Each structure stands twice: as C-alpha cells, then as structure tokens.
Structure 1
C-alpha cells in the first residue's frame, strides 16, 4: 500500500475528505442534519444498500460526526445524532447547496438556503472572528503555526 504524501496528510481538505468525502457519507450527514435519526429513515431516504449504510454510519461515528444512541433494547436499535463536529458540517453542506445552485441548477434551484425568520435567501460568506464580512477574493490560504516545512514551501507566495 502506498503512503499518502506528507502534504496531503497535513492538509485540512485531504483530512476532511478522508472522513466525509464519500458520496453516501455526505448525503447521510445531509439527512442527519435535516432530522433523520434511524437506520430505516436513512435507508428509505437514500435507497442505499443496508451493508453500505451500516459501513457509512459506523465511519461517521468513528469520525466523531455522529453519535450512536440506543433507543430500543429488544431488539437492540440505535439512532444516529449529529455531534458538535457534525453540526459544524452544516456550513459545508450549505456551501455545496449554494455552489450547486449557482453552477448546476440550469432549471432553477430546487433547494435554497434561507434565513429562518424571514425566508430571504442567503449566501455563504467569509467573516472575521468579529463578524466583519471579507470578500472571497480578499481571502487566501496560508501556512498555519503547525505547518511542516514542506507545507510552508508549498503555500509560500510566489
């Protein structure tokens, strides 16, 4: 088995995709964040094979995205509840909705992200910790404090 490069080992995108980058995992998280909790609910919503659903749910539990909680002892049955880490994934899904609508919804949006109180459409944005909006063209990715020399070199300005 070939080892991944050190750059991808420390890349937050690569690390994230390793845990939730698979098609079914993302759709399971979509459904979990929309309120589905039980195996049969996920199965009905997704039309996924039971063995595949079991593997993906177990992977999301191992990744800390979902928590497995018993709801029946006889027979033993479990529900899958988003953790705080799983709830944080909501922003990723909302960004995918906006991006997909912008680039792949020629017929119009079938799903929109809206403000709960007003129903007004919203767009994902970058903001400082204080809440000031920063245009995407004014943002960049730079090496962080824990970056290796290789990552620093890769992300160094030209």
Structure 2
C-alpha cells in the first residue's frame, strides 16, 4: 500500500515517476562532447521529501554515473534541498526554489572522497523544467578546480515511462 503524498511535496508532484532520456548530451571545456542514456526516478513514501535516483549508461548500455538521494522541502515554502550521493565519490547539497513546473538549484556544499578523480567539482547549478505532462528537461552547469566559472555540462530531455 502506498502512502499518501505529503502536502509539502505536492508542489513537486510533476516530477514523480520514471523518466528515460530521449536525448542526453554532455560537454565541458576540458572534455570531448559525448552522448549517453539516463533513467531518472522520483518516488515518495509520504514524507516531506521525494526520493530520487539517476542511472546513466553509454549508448551501448555500459553503466556509468549513478546518484541517489532526496529532494527535501522546507515545509511551508517553495524552498528545496537536493541531497545527492554519487558513485564517483561525491556528495553534494544543492538548494533552490520550485516555481510551478520549474526547479532551479545551486550547490552550497560538495564533498569528495580522498581518491575522487581530478579535477574536483566545486559548484553545480541544475534546473528541471516540465515541458508537458510526459516531457521533462534537465540542464546542469558545473565549475571545477581547473574551470572555476560555471559552464554548461549536461542537457537531458526525458520522456515519462
């Protein structure tokens, strides 16, 4: 039996479900552009937060980047925190606001394992936008220890499955 959706996260209900990438592209000044596939899932258990998981794969289905975490709501507001642990040895917190069917986030804390690959990520800005009931877009910008200004990094268009 599924729990009722917590009142605080009703403003994020447009994210709920499983989303598969229709297009997914990565780029950054220091790397060769690439394409990939990604599955994104947002679920809930009745708390004032959503659970999420991202699973990325190469075009020929080799597992790559994974993250999971929580999208917490500051109850009574449209302010949210995106709390993520990643398989590459990064833990991050991004905060921002949900406005209608758009969510804008920016990191306020990023930690790396002692053996995480260099260069280290120093800042992330992320946006989700619902295009229509079955289409979601996500963009991610990033700064690193060698590229200190935020630069576009990922662009994904998902279809709901």
TM over 0.5: no
Higher helix share: 1
Query: TM-score if structure 2 supplies the norm length?
Result: 0.20
Higher strand share: 2
Q: Which has the higher contact order (CA 8 A, sep 6+)?
A: 2
Query: TM-score if structure 1 supplies the norm length?
Result: 0.20
The structure with more radius of gyration: 1
